[in-house]
C-alpha cells in the first residue's frame, strides 16, 4: 500500500530545529523522520521507521548469510550477571540503573555480553554444539555524557549485537574473520565511505578489535592511516617504546657526551610560550639554534577516578609542543575516568610548584609519590628543559634515563599529521570518522566470569572463546543523513530510501490525481514502493519543496504536462528532470529504480 501524503503522519518544517548542530540531523527533523523526546532520546515517525527498517534488513540479511541466528533479550535486566562480570561497577555513570518495587537492582542493557553468555551456558554443554553465532537488533541504553547530533549519539539507540562461541582460539579467529567480511558487505551496502581501523577494546575487555568508521569531518573519532594500509583509531595507536638501557656501555653511548643538567632562573614562565621566550632571551643554546616548545618537557597532572570511586593523581610527561590527547588517555586508563587536577588537589601536594612541575618530585619513589608516566616520544637519552619544582626555575639539559626516569609509559601525546607511522611505512595522515561498527575477540573474559564451559573432544571442560560484534543501526541512519544531503534536503541512497519513488500530483485538475493514482498502482504492481503526494489544496511549489526535503531519489511528477500526454521524472541527486510519455512512465521509473 502506497504511503499517502494526505494521511501520512508527517508535518515537514520550514525552520531548522534550534538544537540540531549537524545538517543531517536538522534535515531528519525538518523532513519528519524523527522527533526529539529528551536529550539523546528520539521518536521514529513513519518515514524514519521505514529507513531504520531498511538498515535492519540489510544487517539481518548479512548476519543470517554467515549463519548467525536472531534472538531477542529483554532490555530490562537484573544486576547479578553484570555484577559477575564487574560491569555493574565498571560501566560507571553510563549505566541506566533502577530499582524494582522489592528493592532489587536492575539496569537497562547497554550491551548484552553477559546475557548471551548465560543463554548459551543454559542450553549448551558440548563442543559438538559449537560453533554458534547469535545476534539481536534491539534498543540499548547508555546515559551518555554528551548525547550528540540527534540519533548519532543517543541515550537510547538501536544496535545489532552479535556474539560468537567457539571451543578454541582458532575457531574464534575464524568467527572473527567471518563477521569482519559480513561487516564489509553491510557497510558497502549502506553506501557511505568507511574504513576499518585497529581499535582499543575499552570497557569490553579482550584483545584483537577493529572499528568500522564512517569517514566524516564532523566525526568524534580521529584515525590515522599510512601508506602500507595500516589504519588505527588514535586511541589505539601504539608508538614504538624504547626502553632505558641497563647496560653501562649503552648508557654512556646515549648520553655520555651530553652536558650536565643545570638549574636556571626563569622568572614568570609558567607556560610553555613564556618559558621558550625566556630561554631564548636569557639562556641561549650553545649550538646557536633557537629553543622551541619541542625542547621542553610538559608534565600534565590529572586525577583518575576508578570505578570504585577512589581518586588517583597521575602525572604525564609529553613534549611541550604536544597536548595530552584526552581520548588516547581515556582509552588507556579505562575503566577509570579522567578528571582535571584542581586547586584543591594542588593543596594536598605542597611539593608541586604549579607552572614549574618537573620529574624531580614526580613518581612513586619521589616527594609527591604521584605516579609518573612518560609518552614514548620522550625517548631515553633525550635532553629537556623542564620544571625545577620551584617557582621561577627550570632545569636545562635534563636527560631521560640519566637524570630522571618515570614509573612507566603511556601513549598519550597528541598525534599530528606527518608523524612517523609506528609501522615505519611513511608519515601518518589524520582524518575523522564516526564509529559505525566494532568487532572484538573477547576471548574467555565473559565465559570465565560467568562459567561458560563445554566438554571438548577429550571430555575435558574448556572455557568457551567468544567474540562480540556491534553495529549502530540508528547511528547508521544518522550517518547516511549526514553524508547524503544537499542544502535543500536529504538524498537517500536507493537501498535505504523510505520509498522507491515519490509520485507528486500537482494542479487542481481531477484527471491529474486520477492518473497519479493509476501510475502509483501500476508501479506497485511492478513491486516498487510508492510515496504519493495526493494532498488536495497544496500548491505545486510546496509539494516540490517537500519532495526535495524528504529525499526519495526518484520523483515522478504528474501535472501540467498531462494534457500533452507527458509526465516528468526527476532525479533528486542530480537535480535533473526529463519528460516522458505517460504510457512509458512506469517502465522508465522501474528502469531507473532498478538501475537499468
* Binding residues for ligand ATP (CB under 6 A): 111, 142, 144, 153-154, 157, 159, 202, 435-438, 470-472, 474-475
CB of 153 to ligand ATP, least distance (A): 4
Indicate the residue among 157 and 446 with the shorter CB distance to ligand ATP. 157
- Secondary structure of residue 466 in the 3-state scheme: strand
* Separation of alpha carbons 567 and 560, rounded Å: 8
* Separation of alpha carbons 469 and 68, rounded Å: 11
Q: Which residue is nearest to ligand ATP (CB)?
A: 472
Going by C-alpha positions, the residue among 516, 586, 496 that lies closest to residue 558 is 516
Going by C-alpha positions, the residue among 187, 151, 147 that lies closest to residue 24 is 151
Residue 232 in contact with residue 415, Cβ under 8 Å?
no
Residue 552 in contact with residue 502, Cβ under 8 Å?
yes
Q: Is 474 exposed, middle or buried (0-12, 13-18, 19+ CB in 10 A)?
A: buried
DSSP secondary structure letter of residue 404: B
Indicate the residue among 358 and 472 with the shorter CB distance to ligand ATP. 472
* Separation of alpha carbons 42 and 475, rounded Å: 12
CB of 210 to ligand ATP, least distance (A): 11
Q: Which long-range contacts (CB under 8 A, 24 or more apart) does 250-257 make?
A: 251/401, 251/402, 254/380, 254/381, 254/401, 254/402, 255/381, 255/383, 255/399, 255/401, 255/402
Question: Edge-to-edge strands of the sheet including 371-374?
Answer: 337-340, 297-305, 311-319, 371-374, 408-409
Write down the number of H helices and E strands in the chain.
Answer: 15, 30
Q: DSSP letters of 153-198? A: B-SEEEEEEEEEEESSHHHHHHHHHHHHHHHHHHHHHHTS-EEEEE
Indicate the residue among 435 and 566 with the shorter CB distance to ligand ATP. 435
Residue 530 in contact with residue 3, Cβ under 8 Å?
yes
Going by C-alpha positions, the residue among 157, 141, 137 that lies closest to residue 108 is 141
**Who's near 310: CB < 8 A, 6+ residues apart?**
none
CB of 144 to ligand ATP, least distance (A): 5
Question: All 3 cell numbers of residue 116?
Answer: 548471551
CB of 203 to ligand ATP, least distance (A): 7
**Who's near 358: CB < 8 A, 6+ residues apart?**
297, 299, 386, 387, 388, 389, 394, 395, 398, 404
Cα dihedral 526/528/529/532 (nearest 10): -70
Indicate the residue among 371 and 475 with the shorter CB distance to ligand ATP. 475
CB of 569 to ligand ATP, least distance (A): 36
Helix, strand and coil percent figures for the chain, each rounded to 5: 30, 30, 40
Strand (E) or helix (H) holding 567: strand 566-571
Amino acid at each position: 500500500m502506497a504511503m499517502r501524503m494526505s494521511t501520512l503522519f508527517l508535518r515537514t518544517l520550514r525552520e531548522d530545529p534550534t538544537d540540531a548542530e549537524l545538517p543531517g540531523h536538522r534535515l531528519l527533523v525538518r523532513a519528519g523522520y524523527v522527533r526529539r523526546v529528551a536529550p539523546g532520546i528520539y521518536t521514529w515517525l513513519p518515514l524514519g521507521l521505514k529507513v531504520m527498517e531498511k538498515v535492519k534488513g540489510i544487517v539481518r540479511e548479512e548476519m543470517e548469510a554467515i549463519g548467525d541466528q536472531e534472538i531477542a533479550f529483554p532490555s530490562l535486566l537484573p544486576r547479578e550477571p553484570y555484577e559477575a562480570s564487574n560491569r555493574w561497577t565498571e560501566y560507571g555513570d553510563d549505566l541506566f540503573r533502577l530499582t524494582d518495587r522489592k528493592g532489587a537492582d536492575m539496569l537497562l542493557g547497554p550491551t548484552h555480553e553477559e546475557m548471551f553468555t548465560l543463554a548459551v551456558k543454559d542450553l549448551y554443554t558440548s563442543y559438538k554444539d559449537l560453533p554458534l553465532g547469535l545476534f539481536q537488533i534491539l534498543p540499548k541504553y547508555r546515559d551518555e555524557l554528551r548525547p550528540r547530533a540527534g540519533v548519532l549519539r543517543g541515550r537510547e539507540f538501536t544496535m545489532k549485537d552479535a556474539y560468537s562461541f567457539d571451543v578454541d582460539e582458532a575457531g574464534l579467529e575464524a568467527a572473527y574473520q567471518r563477521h569482519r567480511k559480513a561487516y564489509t558487505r553491510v557497510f558497502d551496502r549502506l553506501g557511505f565511505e568507511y574504513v576499518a581501523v585497529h581499535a582499543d577494546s575499552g570497557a569490553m575487555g579482550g584483545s584483537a578489535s577493529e572499528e568500522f568508521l564512517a569517514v566524516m569531518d564532523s566525526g568524534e573519532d580521529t584515525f590515522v592511516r599510512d601508506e602500507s594500509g595500516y589504519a588505527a583509531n588514535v586511541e589505539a595507536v601504539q608508538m614504538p617504546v624504547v626502553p632505558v638501557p641497563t647496560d653501562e656501555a649503552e648508557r654512556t653511548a646515549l648520553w655520555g657526551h651530553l652536558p650536565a643538567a643545570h638549574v636556571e632562573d626563569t622568572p614568570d614562565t609558567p607556560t610553555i610560550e613564556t618559558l621558550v621566550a625566556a630561554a631564548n632571551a636569557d639562556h641561549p643554546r650553545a649550538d646557536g639554534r633557537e629553543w622551541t616548545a619541542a625542547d621542553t618537557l610538559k608534565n600534565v597532572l590529572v586525577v583518575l577516578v576508578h570505578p570504585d570511586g577512589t581518586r588517583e593523581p597521575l602525572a604525564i610527561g609529553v613534549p611541550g609542543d604536544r597536548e595530552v590527547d584526552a581520548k588516547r588517555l581515556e582509552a588507556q586508563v579505562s575503566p577509570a575516568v579522567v578528571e582535571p587536577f584542581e586547586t584543591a588537589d594542588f593543596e594536598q601536594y605542597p611539593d608541586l610548584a604549579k607552572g614549574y612541575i618537573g620529574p624531580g618530585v614526580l613518581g612513586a619513589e619521589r616527594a609527591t609519590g604521584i605516579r609518573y608516566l612518560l609518552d614514548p616520544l620522550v625517548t631515553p637519552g633525550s635532553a629537556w628543559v623542564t620544571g625545577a619544582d620551584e617557582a621561577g626555575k627550570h632545569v636545562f639539559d635534563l636527560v631521560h634515563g640519566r637524570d630522571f626516569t618515570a614509573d612507566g609509559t603511556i601513549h598519550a601525546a597528541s598525534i599530528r599529521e606527518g608523524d612517523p607511522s609506528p609501522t615505519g611505512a611513511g608519515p601518518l595522515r589524520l582524518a575523522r570518522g564516526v564509529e559505525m561498527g566494532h568487532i572484538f575477540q573477547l576471548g574467555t573474559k565473559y565465559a570465565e566470569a560467568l562459567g561458560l564451559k563445554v566438554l571438548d573432544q577429550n571430555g575435558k571442560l574448556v572455557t568457551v572463546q567468544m567474540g562480540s560484534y556491534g553495529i549502530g543501526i540508528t547511528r547508521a541512519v544518522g550517518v547516511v543523513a549526514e553524508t547524503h544531503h544537499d542544502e535543500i534536503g536529504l538524498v537517500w541512497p536507493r537501498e535505504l530510501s523510505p520509498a522507491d519513488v515519490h509520485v507528486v500530483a500537482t494542479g487542481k485538475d481531477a484527471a491529474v490525481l486520477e492518473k497519479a493514482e493509476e501510475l502509483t498502482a501500476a508501479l506497485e504492481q511492478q513491486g516498487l514502493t510508492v510515496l504519493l503526494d495526493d494532498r488536495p489544496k497544496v500548491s505545486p511549489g510546496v509539494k516540490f519543496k517537500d519532495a526535495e526535503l524528504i529525499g526519495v531519489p526518484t520523483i515522478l511528477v504528474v501535472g501540467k504536462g498531462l494534457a500533452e500526454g507527458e509526465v516528468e521524472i526527476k532525479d533528486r541527486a542530480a537535480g535533473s528532470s526529463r519528460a516522458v510519455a505517460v504510457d512509458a512512465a512506469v517502465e522508465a521509473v522501474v528502469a531507473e529504480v532498478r538501475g537499468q
